[in-house]
Every structure is written in C-alpha cells, then in structure tokens.
Amino acid sequence: MENAVQIKNLTKEYKDFSLKQITMNIPKGCVMGLIGANGAGKSTLIQSILGLLKADYDEIFILGKDLKTKEREIKEDIAVIFDVSHYNLQYTPAFIGKILSGVYKNWDMGLYTQYLKRFDLPKDKKIKKFSKGMKMKLEFAIAFSHAPKLLILDEATSGLDPIFRDEILELIREFTEDEDHTVLLSSHITSDLDKIADYIAFIHEGELQFVKTYDELRDHYGILHCGKDFFESMREEDIVSFKKEPYEYKVLVKNKSEILNVFPELEIERASIEDIMLFYVKGEM
C-alpha cells in the first residue's frame, strides 16, 4: 500500500514534555484520525511534520518527497486548517484570494469563487465580522482552491455546533472521494471520527500507543462487564485495560467475538473511540 506520509523515529524535546520516537505511516487515500488528551502531543506532531517546529527524526516523507530536501515542493500539495484563522481579520475573502493567487502555483480563482458562493460567504466583507463557522468555511474554501493532495486539520471542528461540524465532515468525505487525496484529522471530538475515519492513531503523553484501522477497533474491541471471579480467570492477552467498579469489572477486550464464542452469555458492548481512549488513559493495564 502506498503511503501519503511516512514518519520514522520523530522526537521533539521540551523541558517538561517530549514526543518520543514516533514511527507511523498514513496510507494514501484514507482519513487518519489522530486522538489523544490535551497536551498528548497531537499538535506537536503535526507542526513537526509540517516543518513549523524543529524536531529530530530519521526520515519524513510526504507524498513521496523527503521533507529535508523538498519542503517547499511538499507545501504546494498540502492544505492545513487549524482551529482558528491565521489571516488578518481586516482582510476580505476577495483580498485573501488575490494574495494566495501569487503564493500557490495551482491556485484556481474560479474554484475559490465557487466555494465562496456555495458557503454563502460575502467576498467583500471583512472576516472580523464572520462567525466562527463562517471563518472555518472560508478556511476550507482556501484549502480546496489550490488542488492539495494532503489535507491536515488540527482541531478544526472544535467549537463548532453539530450542524456546522456535519457540513465539515461532508466536505472531507467529498475530498476523499478522490483516491489521491488523504486527510490527517486531529480531533478531541471522537464522535466525528466514528463517522469518517479509516484509521485511528492514538498518542498519550508523547508516545504513540497504536495505529489501527477503524474497522478493527469497531469489530474486535469491546467492553466486557463481569464479576471478580470471571475477571481473575481471564487470560492476560485478552485484556487491554480494565476498571474496577463497586459491583463489577469493566474490561476493554480486543477479541470480543472469540470471547463470545466461548462464553455467549457474557455482556460485551461495543467500544467507541472515546471509550478506547479513556480505558487507555484511565484504566489499569
């Protein structure tokens, strides 16, 4: 499988935090959800692979190009959307379009105008008068108007109401209909990732815990409710993490079908992405 992003042994050291030897691949044509608590290292990872932070690494290849030697070329094919707009609030969408037409070789002013109309964004209105949702739609209009192959979103849906978030997810779905397009989506709103992600990468305290397909998490992981005796009889390899409650044990398992084949009377509920993250962070290993 061809990868849109390849990262090998990326480390970023701070006085009180470090991103520790992150090695991961993002397959071409997928939506990779990046999850983790605040301060886990998600934004540090994104800024490092964009070259916005100076990090140590063995290699980073983006769209088949070496970040060390081809950073300028790579950025022509990347669109990045953060949770806040970084454009001067006195600018209008029309003025931003003129600026970016001189920045990106592939800038398509006609397409940009189409997106402004689609999103009902007045081209001559200063963006300081836009709502948060309008500003985010402007970011997408900008992102899609220079033919990017990789779209990176860092908490871009945070603070938006459910209707706006659903529109954003629909835009991402449209973008990934082209198999040459790839998305890295960092979000603490894990329900959004339940709707759209093909893969999930989980970072905790600067360490990459896993990268798994969404289907694997959905189909194989589950939360088992059981008593002390059954819990103590379980195989260690069946248990990802557990929580001891007043009247039962809640156990995150990674092979729920196998367990139910042997013990069909057990209660094992589906584990959401949020459930899995919470068990890793707050459960006992």
Q: Percentage of the chain with pLDDT > 70?
A: 99
Domain co-membership, 128 together with 172: yes
Tokens of 145: 């108007």
Domain interval for residue 78: 3-214
Mean of the pLDDT values across residues 242-255? 89
Domain co-membership, 167 together with 256: no
pTM, entire model: 0.88
Domain co-membership, 45 together with 23: yes
Residue 187 binned pLDDT confidence (cut-offs 50, 70, 90): confident
For residue 1, the model assigns a pLDDT of 67
**What average pLDDT does the chain have?**
89
Domain co-membership, 187 together with 247: no
Domain co-membership, 68 together with 16: yes
For residue 25, the model assigns a pLDDT of 95
Mean of the pLDDT values across residues 11-28? 91
Q: How far is CA 38 from CA 48, 50, 132, in A?
A: 17, 20, 21
> For the chain, where are the alpha helices, taking DSSP H only?
42-49, 67-76, 93-101, 109-118, 132-144, 162-175, 190-196, 214-220, 228-233, 256-262, 273-282
Residue 186, pLDDT above cutoff 70: yes
Domain co-membership, 112 together with 135: yes
State which of 179, 194, 214 marks the end of a domain: 214
Mean of the pLDDT values across residues 13-39? 91
pLDDT tens-digit series, residues 27-52: 999 999 999 888 888 889 999 988 88
Tokens of 100: 């970016």
For residue 183, the model assigns a pLDDT of 95
State which of 182, 214, 246 marks the end of a domain: 214
Domain co-membership, 261 together with 174: no
Tokens of 116: 């402004």
pLDDT tens-digit series, residues 165-184: 888 888 888 888 888 999 99
CATH of the domain at 164: 3.40.50.300
Tokens of 36: 């983790």
Domain co-membership, 210 together with 234: no
Domain co-membership, 26 together with 83: yes
For residue 266, the model assigns a pLDDT of 82
State which of 195, 214, 233 marks the end of a domain: 214
Q: How many CA atoms lie within 13 A of 134 on its CB side?
A: 16
Tally the domains of the chain: 2
